[in-house]
């Protein structure tokens, strides 16, 4: 961590990555920020009750500049600025994962615990409890269903945290301008059963899916991967691509989806955020051809082999997690390592990209290499050479939902936001 341009503990670039990663900022007097891309990158502003204030305008937060007639920028949306947290604010963000901060010749050295993989690591070490997901399928003509995920983590809160997430999976929602996956999470005290929080878990679902894809890539993909191919443009797609772009020094990102307007919009949004070239292509075949990292996250209603086994070259890393299978039955035959987030979860329900492989015995305890928690905890190695073809199938680990929901609850309590409801 290098010293910021104005003497702060982080640079503007690092602060931008914090914002991109979803760090919550509740502006307060004394907070520092910059306004990028307006020829003011070197100017650091400070929120002040006298001259700069935060207020609501048409449903969003804006930062207003008052007290001067020369200033041409009256206000700016909060999402357009980059917060530069102070040292004590960084310590608060890092929480229990912060160990120490030392001054170095060219900046600062920060020592952390391995916070990135807390939930998978805990699962790999057996410090968790959860049941495989169950499905609720209404009589709605097959347009969608609900997934119910339940989990408990010993290491969170005073007595551990238990949680339940219900997420709908409705493919036609785009016709109504809605995400295909809408979710709600509830956290409970495991010693009394008292509900602690009810949260919108739609973003949690999308972000933790991308995080799990990236954890798998960290351990199973080649470090010099250059071409990312992504099929599917739903909510989780954004997090998959942006987090993988952070992990690798990519030369090209290819995206595709069934509807041209969907893939073009997705590519444009990514291009506006990333420096890596992004290209929308018409077919999955074109996207996957010669790619190093292949992610299949489509929204099929019937099985269709979009990801052909022949497209997986030596050294490739494959992540298939669409609800309905979009891969060929012989895909696992060419894989050196097949890894899942949880084997019980992989066997549950009637949905999933590799459902046929489980049902036909092609994916079994004998052909499965490991659960990702075993690799993260160091009990089994991940990628061992550049020629390996590795596959990671994650269906969604409830432990991640509980861990992230608890993190959001902690931050909400610290910022004194949210609505307190009487329960009993």
235-265: pLDDT as tens digits: 789 999 999 999 999 999 999 998 899 999 9
- What pLDDT shows up at residue 124? 47
β-bridge partners, 107: 2, 104
pLDDT single digits (tens) 325-360? 778 888 889 999 999 988 887 776 666 677 888 888
CA gap 228, 236 in Å, rounded: 15
Categorize the per-residue pLDDT at 373 as very low, low, confident or very high, splitting at 50, 70 and 90: confident
371 and 386 in a single domain? The answer is yes
91 and 182 in a single domain? The answer is no
230 and 348 in a single domain? The answer is yes
Categorize the per-residue pLDDT at 126 as very low, low, confident or very high, splitting at 50, 70 and 90: very low
Categorize the per-residue pLDDT at 74 as very low, low, confident or very high, splitting at 50, 70 and 90: low
CA gap 181, 189 in Å, rounded: 27
Residue 305 within a domain: yes
Tokens 């615990």, residue located: 113
83 and 189 in a single domain? The answer is no
pLDDT single digits (tens) 2-56? 333 444 567 887 787 777 655 667 777 788 888 887 777 678 888 876 656 677 7
- What pLDDT shows up at residue 101? 59
pLDDT single digits (tens) 157-169? 788 899 999 999 8
Q: What average pLDDT does range 113-127 have in this prediction?
A: 49
pLDDT of residue 186 exceeding 70, the answer is: yes
pLDDT of residue 72 exceeding 70, the answer is: no
The residue from 91, 113, 135 where one domain ends is 113
221 and 360 in a single domain? The answer is yes
CA gap 402, 161 in Å, rounded: 7
Most confident of 132-136, 168-172, 390-394: 390-394
Residue 43 within a domain: yes
CA gap 242, 210 in Å, rounded: 8
Q: What average pLDDT does range 205-228 have in this prediction?
A: 92
pLDDT of residue 224 exceeding 90, the answer is: yes
70 and 155 in a single domain? The answer is no
- Closest Cα to residue 275, out of 243, 250, 239? 250
Residue 67 within a domain: yes
Categorize the per-residue pLDDT at 405 as very low, low, confident or very high, splitting at 50, 70 and 90: very high
What domain range includes position 299? Answer: 208-400
DSSP state of 2: B
pLDDT of residue 228 exceeding 90, the answer is: yes
> Pairing state of beta strands 337-340 and 390-393?
parallel
- What pLDDT shows up at residue 4? 39
- Closest Cα to residue 73, out of 37, 38, 47? 38
Categorize the per-residue pLDDT at 102 as very low, low, confident or very high, splitting at 50, 70 and 90: low
Residue 220, both tokens: 């199973």
Long-range contacts made by residues 35-40, C-beta under 8 angstroms, separation at least 24? Answer: 35/73, 35/76, 35/80, 35/81, 35/82, 36/12, 36/80, 36/81, 36/82, 38/73
Residue 163 dihedral angles phi and psi, to the nearest 5°: -155, 155
Residues recorded for the chain: 424
Residue 421 within a domain: no
Residue 408 within a domain: no
Q: What average pLDDT does range 190-197 have in this prediction?
A: 93
87 and 142 in a single domain? The answer is no
pLDDT of residue 67 exceeding 60, the answer is: no
CATH number at residue 139: 3.30.1780.10
Categorize the per-residue pLDDT at 96 as very low, low, confident or very high, splitting at 50, 70 and 90: low
- Closest Cα to residue 34, out of 58, 18, 16? 16
Residue 179 within a domain: yes
Q: pLDDT > 90: what percent of the chain?
A: 33
CA gap 405, 165 in Å, rounded: 10
220 and 251 in a single domain? The answer is yes
- What pLDDT shows up at residue 249? 92
199 and 245 in a single domain? The answer is no
- What pLDDT shows up at residue 398? 82
- What pLDDT shows up at residue 110? 58
Residue 321, both tokens: 């997690």
The residue from 177, 203, 229 where one domain ends is 203
pLDDT of residue 187 exceeding 60, the answer is: yes
245 and 348 in a single domain? The answer is yes
- The whole-chain average pLDDT of the chain stands at 82
Residue 232 within a domain: yes
Q: What average pLDDT does range 91-111 have in this prediction?
A: 60
State the DSSP H helix or E strand holding residue 135, giving kind and residue range, or none if neither.
Answer: strand 128-136
139 and 153 in a single domain? The answer is yes
The residue from 180, 203, 226 where one domain ends is 203
CA gap 180, 167 in Å, rounded: 10
Residue 413 within a domain: no
pLDDT of residue 402 exceeding 70, the answer is: yes
CATH number at residue 369: 3.40.50.720
Residue 419, both tokens: 């609505």
- Closest Cα to residue 246, out of 205, 280, 203, 214? 214
pLDDT of residue 112 exceeding 70, the answer is: no
Domains: count for the chain: 3
86 and 18 in a single domain? The answer is yes
């Amino acid at each position: 961590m290098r010293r910021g341009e104005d003497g702060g503990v982080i640079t503007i670039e690092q602060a931008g990555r914090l914002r991109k990663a979803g760090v919550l900022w509740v502006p307060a007097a004394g907070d520092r920020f910059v306004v990028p891309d307006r020829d003011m990158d070197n100017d650091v502003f400070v929120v002040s009750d006298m001259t700069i204030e935060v207020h609501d305008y048409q449903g969003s937060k804006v930062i207003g500049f008052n007290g001067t007639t020369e200033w041409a920028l009256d206000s700016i949306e909060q999402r357009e600025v980059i917060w530069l947290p102070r040292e004590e604010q960084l310590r608060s963000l890092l929480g229990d994962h912060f160990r120490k901060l030392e001054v170095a010749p060219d900046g600062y050295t920060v020592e952390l615990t391995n916070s990135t993989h807390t939930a998978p690591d805990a699962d790999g070490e057996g410090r968790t409890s959860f049941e495989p997901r169950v499905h609720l399928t209404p009589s709605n003509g097959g347009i969608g269903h609900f997934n119910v995920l339940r989990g408990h983590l010993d290491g969170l809160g005073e007595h551990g945290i238990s949680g339940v997430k219900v997420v709908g999976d409705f493919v036609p929602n785009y016709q109504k301008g809605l995400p295909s996956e809408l979710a709600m999470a509830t956290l409970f005290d495991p010693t009394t059963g008292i509900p602690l929080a009810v949260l919108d878990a739609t973003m949690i679902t999308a972000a933790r899916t991308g995080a799990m894809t990236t954890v798998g890539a960290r351990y199973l993909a080649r470090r010099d991967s250059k071409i990312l191919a992504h099929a599917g443009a739903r909510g989780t797609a954004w997090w998959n691509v942006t987090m993988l772009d952070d992990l690798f020094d990519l030369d090209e990102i290819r995206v595709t989806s069934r509807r041209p307007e969907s893939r073009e919009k997705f590519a444009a949004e990514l291009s506006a955020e990333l420096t890596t070239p992004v290209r929308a292509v018409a077919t999955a075949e074109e996207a996957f051809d010669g790619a190093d990292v292949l992610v299949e996250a489509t929204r099929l209603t019937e099985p269709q082999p979009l990801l052909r086994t022949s497209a997986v070259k030596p050294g490739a890393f494959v992540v298939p997690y669409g609800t309905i299978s979009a891969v060929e039955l012989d895909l696992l035959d060419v894989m050196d390592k097949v890894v899942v987030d949880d084997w019980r979860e992989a066997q549950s329900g009637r949905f999933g990209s590799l459902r046929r492989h489980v049902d036909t015995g092609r994916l079994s305890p004998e052909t499965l290499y490991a659960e990702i928690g075993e690799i993260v905890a160091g009990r089994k190695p991940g990628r061992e050479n550049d020629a390996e073809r590795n596959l990671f199938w994650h269906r969604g680990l409830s432990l991640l939902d509980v861990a992230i929901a608890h993190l959001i609850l902690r931050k909400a309590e610290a910022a004194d936001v949210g609505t307190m409801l009487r329960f009993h």
